[in-house]
Structure 1
Amino acid sequence: MKLITKVICLIVILMSPVIALYAYSNAQSTRLVEEQLTIANRQRLAIFMHQIEAAMEQVSQYSNLISQDPDFAQFAGNVIPANGYDYAILSDTLQRKLSLFSTSNAWMNRINAYFPGSGHAVSSYSLLPYDEAYLLDQATTRWTYRNIRVDGADKMAFTRFFIVPASAASDIRKADVIVEIDLMADNIERLLDSFKTKGNNDPFLYRSAGELVLNGSAEESTIRRLIAQEGSAIAADPAEGYRSVSLDGRRYLVYGLVSAKIGWTLVDYVPLETILAPVTYSRNLFYVTAGLLILTGAGAAYMIYSQVQRPIRQLGEGTVRLERGDLSARLPPGNNRDFAGLFRQFNRMAEKQQHLIEKVYREQLRAKEAVMKQLQSQINPHFLYNSFAYIVSMAQMNRLEPVVSMAYSLSDYYRYSTRNERLDTTVKEEVAFVRSYMEIMNMQLRKIGYKIDIPPGLEAVDIPRLLLQPIVENAIIHGLEPKKGGGSISISGRAADGIVRFMVEDDGVGLADETLERLNASLKETEPPGDDCGLWNVHQRLTHRYGSAAGLLLTRSESGGVRVTLSWPDVSNP
């Protein structure tokens, strides 16, 4: 046997197993590509459909906002201003709110609100007449696809009516408000364009032959022939994840996903030869190149992937999780020494960031909760009722001077207590507020005296708002009102040894030593002791503002009543 023959035979013997192995590998690769492509496409279809459903769900929430808005409630309750100017202002306000709702969504939309009770209508686009016949004919609580007219142009849109209350759906004339939301089909067309990748696939949204939403470069004739051939079976086979369809001599893989919320089917189809083109090219390339080179390249690629790309991808995924607000994102240490140090630094950074953000968030929540509870506790309806009853009584007796005095005091009181643009105030303003409150209570009860002794140097000190009034109110309610005869309250302030102290004393009925101890202990609890939490709120606000060295202390006063001492570090003179 010639040498050349031996070499050829040896090459054939060596290459035959490689070729056979590659043939098998190619068949498995083809199957794997189809499976992975099916998984990827199903995920992409699910994400795309979720975007559509999420957008529709978002705009659906506008109906709740509209039904709860006080301005819209005027039209819904047929409380229409008789003055033409006020009516115009209210109509303009409603239209601007609808426009704001409309523009807050990235998708182009139109929002119309109809008020059967008053026979009015408002639109986010332009003036809209109330048309009961239109509502009776068109109003449906399901998403429908129809032609609408916007700014003189015809547009296809997804429309849904929201009827409030829902029980009025059978007779819309009994509804308080009917909200019509139109989502332009152009939004979905643009989304389909972004879904289309490299021109290989051709996604579209489908419900029936006459209801189609296509992408901007869709082959409409192919799509309609595909629908005519497959009909309602165009949705993917649940067992396979896709359908294989032959059309005009070409094979297509058709992927479909039905939305249970809107009743539409998202369909995407790809020519089979396009899907297998990379595999076919790789197979042909293998027959003209050396198998060893391919295996070497594959090994090198895998090494790069496992040693470089995978760690970078993990780092990117961790960064994305942090960006999305997942503060628990951590990276596994792994065996890659080149990236282990970077991963440890990332984990330490994420842990520190989580700690700082959670700390700030907790502090903000505590501060806001304390302020809100304190503000709410000030607006006492019984206090307001008693004040108005006093005004009425004095007016009936034609005693105008007490009426004027009470009105001025109430004005000062509520102007201060409801002003929340600033959380801080000065001692001078807080004392003036307390003086207004004491004047009001003295006019109501006619047995309360008070004395205020604040050094001028303390009047400009910044303190949290509504700090002293809850203490004074507590002294009046629990100390002076139960006492027979008159009583008095003393308010004093001092700054010494780096500590600011304010004392509020009364000569009322007082408290037992056990009660004082229990109250002092309850101030340090993390939760308020009950409905009467005025002292607890003040104590918590002081500790949150100035630290654990600040707070309240309840003791017995020399006159037999209760003394409440407020103290905190003097930050104005560090």
Structure 2
Amino acid sequence: MSNKERSLFSKLVGSLILLLLPVLILSIYSNRVNENLITGQIKQSSISRLSTLATQMDNIIMQLETFTYILIRDPNVIEFQDLSLLNSSYYEQISKKKIIQDKLYLQSASTEWINEVTVYSPRSGQTISTIHGTSFDPERLQRLSKENWNFILHDDKTDKQGKVIHLTAEPYDAGGGIAKANSIIEISFDMSNVIRMLDKFKSQGVGEALFYKPNDTFLSTSSFPPVLLREAVSALKKTQLADEGDITLNVNGVSYLLSYSDVQVLDGYVVNMVPLSEILTPLRMTNRFAYLVLGLLLIVGIVVSWLLYRNVQVPLRALVRGVQQIKMGQYKTRISLQVKNEFRLIISRFNEMSDQIQQLIENVLEQQLLTHEAELKQLQSQINPHFLYNSLSYVISMTKLNRKDAVLQMAYHLSDYYRYTTRVEKQLVTLADELKNAADYLSIHQMRMNRIRYRIDVENVMMDIEVPRLILQPIVENALIHGVEALEDDGIVTITGSCTGNEYSLIIDDNGGSMTFERLHDLQKQLISRHGERSEACGLLNVHRRLQLRYGVDSGVRLSINAVSGLRVELHWTEKAVDDEAVNRG
């Protein structure tokens, strides 16, 4: 390997490293951003869900608490304070207690959580409750009055699941203790209600859920692993908790996210424990796979760099040099490099392409444009000047005979005809204009020779298409001069037109009766050879070449003998994308 080759190979390897290094840096940065983004989204989603859960719990508990405030002001409850002291019959007392108890049962069944309600009358020591066997216990009520909501895990008045109890007393500021209150409302609900909400929360998301109260009270989902629960409670105890937030916890090498949101009424927090490591593991595995792929790409790139230089760089450099020379106009450029790989075919095709470009640009295209321009200008110079002399002679004769109407008609036709034929600024016209010019030309001959007849039958959908100027007049002139002019009987020229899709056809028939197969073959031969030796073939050839230049080599003039042995000329073409500017330059 020469020093130059070694230098080029080193450049290729260095370029590969420089290419992969930013990718590696971006991958590392992107992975970290993605991890932070996913973690942030998990935090945001978890706190949002916890806030919703806390709001739901607050609403339910506030509903229960509000009921006690309403109930304690109920006239029946107020009357119950001194019911036993009033001079009422036993039946009346039972009826009034029954009214209050019905209200308690109705409230107990009207909320989402299962709850129990008890009304105490400290003066009489009587109770009305949805719990059977409830009695007035001043000491117990005094303990419960110290907290807004009391979490009782083991109470002789409740089952082993534990209850959450709230007391409402009237008057609200009972300075003399709970025994001085006129009425006391106790409302409680099972802790299983909170656990059910936590289980429902867990089923709708990821991780475990628990309710935590700073005084060592906590409730968790039924599936919360004990080890994780202890670690979560311990971490919450060690943290100064705000209204909402999150804590990152590591247990046995696994990272967990503790998100929390406060439940204001219960003075506690709902907590969601999400295993971050499990969520981020697929992303981290993808990242490691990406790093492995980058390493393999570097190794493979070094091997391929050498192969690229030996088998691609040299022939590619020759191709690039050749393309640059073609771009600068050196169309004679050829690549002489001999290779034995796939570039041999490419180099061969490049040389063939150069030959074709040189031929098209230097010869064919230039010759076609020049020929096109000359042929377009040739048509108007071939119009017979004797036609004008004969028409003027007709005008003079009709004037002498005082045939004013004939003179006017001839003047109108001549005016329209020469206005059209001398208008050279526009090379494309509508077929309707072209048919009008042919009709003017035929009308002039019809006025000069009464035995001339003509008929034009062209589909209306063809009238607005654009065609080259003066493609009909030379054909009609041939039909008159070489077809029907020598007839003793009526001479008839027919023009018909039809189209199928984007294919169009105009047919000009005459009844001259003198067309033979030898003469037809001679005319067809002159069209193919592009040399019109006879005046009759000159106009046909002119129209034939213009149609080919405009619409392609498949378009042009077709010749045949019609049923009355006259000449049938068919102009056929297909509309397609054409360089109109190149055509109009003629």
TM-score, normalising length: structure 2: 0.44
Greater RCO, CA 8 A, separation 6+: 2
TM-score, normalising length: structure 1: 0.44
Which has more radius of gyration? 2
